[in-house]
Structure 1
Amino acid sequence: MKHSLPDLIETKRNVHVLYAYGAMQTYLQTVVSYILDSIQAKETIILIENERIYRQIKKELQPLLSKKDMEFIHFINSFDFYFSSGSYHPPAIAAYFEKTVQPYLENQEAFRSWAHVEWSSMEEPHHLIDDLEKIIDHAVNELQFPLICAYKKANMPIQLETMLIHTHPYKLIENPLLTSVPDPLTVKKRVSQR
């Protein structure tokens, strides 16, 4: 079953979405749409992204948003986030995330998150990625916030993709017929339940 992501988030806060993206331009358009939707809902967007892509996103957003609107974006450098302990260590990453969201929780402020997960290759031990995704999925359900985890499709071996499908109840769909614009944040619910 397909859903509009904004409609789904409006009715259900604990939405954990896998986005296996293709072209970088489509990725940029998708993350910009998600950010704009978050700001329109007056929710902070915790954007975990690399510095180079963040500059591109910011360039896309600046003509569309006021300076005040840009304050809804809480940027975290993805390298600092994933390797805060010196290596990819799921408990350290989860602790970093908990520390980041704590002020929003204490002030009862709604937030959303976008996490770009990237390495030069997806040769990291898959059990570590699986461990982190399970921890994060638990947090999404417990703290009631939407999260999109973006992975580059071309860098995902089949065993990683299969594992990620099991830890993400929803998958963001790119429309293969439209090369410049994805479906307006359309998600598909996983058929099998955990």
Structure 2
Amino acid sequence: MHSKIQNLISTVKESGAHIFYDFDDEQKYIDNLIMYITAAIGLGNHVMIIENDRIMPEIQNRIKTLFNEKEQEMIHTINNYDFYCYRGNFHKETILSYLQNMISPFLQNNIPIQTWAHVEWREQEEIFQSLGEYEMEADLIIQASNLITICGYDSNRVPDSLKKILMDCHDYHMTDDNIRIIERKTV
């Protein structure tokens, strides 16, 4: 999977990409995240990781083990609960504003950045519609800024109706062991 991630990032480094990662195996998910960080840093890019409190300690331990101090300074982490539930629930406008504010300093200073976000949510009314709307609007931001971003979703929490929406607003579909381009429908 390392070469697939490396090849994808090299291919889209100028144009950016919005990648839907539908994961089943948490250990492979973490391994793929570490490969993504390695590939990004290899290109001289910073990486913003939006992850939960349960997984973050293992990621941080691996970062300390695998990357030198200068490389570690290129890795930025945010708690995904703080990111996605800043107002207590999943609020699309707040999250999109947070995303823009988060990446703006990098873009304004011509510092290349990639993101990796583990998308999670509390149970709330119409959450799948909100997630779909968020991803569609995030896609516009990603396209405008040529950002490379992976949106990780635990496949156990993604019903077919949401998966269809996510497939319609991402450029690539990634699983624990594969990456493929999504042929988007043009309107």
TM-score scaled by length of structure 1: 0.86
SS of corresponding position for 2:16: coil
**Code of the aligned partner of 1:160:** L
Say whether the 8 Å CA contact 1:44–1:110 is kept in structure 2. yes
Does the alignment pair 1:127 with 2:129?
A: yes
Q: CA deviation at 1:192?
A: 3.9
Say which is worse superposed, 141-150 or 157-166, in terms of deviation. 157-166
Cα RMSD, aligned residues only: 1.9
Partner of 1:166: 168
| Sequence identity percentage | 28
Instruction: Tell me which of 33, 41, 44 is aligned to 1:42.
Output: 44
Q: CA deviation at 1:189?
A: 0.7
1:28 corresponding residue in structure 2: 30
Q: Show the 5 A alignment for 1:94-113.
A: 94-113=96-115
1:9 aligns with 2:14: no
Amino acid corresponding to residue 175 of structure 2 in structure 1: I
Structure 1 Cα separation of the partners of residues 120 and 89 of structure 2: 14
| CA distance in 1: counterparts of 2:24 and 2:125, whole angstroms | 19
State the shift of 1:131 in Å: 0.9
Conserved? CA contact 1:48–1:77, under 8 Å:
yes
Contact conserved, 2:9 with 2:40, CA < 8 A, in 1?
A: no
- What is the CA–CA distance in structure 2 between the aligned matches of 1:72 and 1:137, rounded to whole Å? 24
CA distance in 2, matches of 1:94, 1:68: 29
Contact map agreement 1:122 1:157 (CA 8 A) in 2: no
1:69 to 63, 68, 71: 71
Q: CA deviation at 1:8?
A: 3.2
Unpaired runs of 5+ residues, structure 2, are none
Contact 2:90–2:121 (CA<8 Å) still a contact in 1?
Answer: no
Which of 90, 110, 115 is the equivalent residue of 2:117?
Answer: 115
CA contact (8 A) 1:35 1:45 kept: yes
Deviation of 1:88 after TM superposition, in Å, equals 1.0
Q: Cα deviations across residues 24-55 of structure 1 (Å, max 9, x unaligned)?
A: 11111011111111111111101011122111
Moved over 4 A (4+): 120-124
**In the aligned structure 1, how far is the partner of 2:89 from the partner of 2:157?**
20
Superposition pairs for residues 173-188 of structure 1, below 5 Å? 173-175=175-177, 186-188=178-180
The amino acid of 1:97's aligned partner reads: L
Q: Provide the C-alpha distance between the structure 2 equivalents of 1:115 and 1:100, rounded to a whole number of angstroms.
A: 13
TM-score by length of 2: 0.89
Provide the residue aligned with 1:60 in structure 2.
62
Return closer, same or farther for 1:63/1:123 CA change in 2, 3 Å cut-off.
farther
* Structure 1, unpaired ranges of 5+: 176-185
TM alignment of 1:146-165, pairs within 5 A: 146-165=148-167
Aligned residue type for 1:46: M
Aligned partner of residue 65 in structure 2, secondary structure: coil
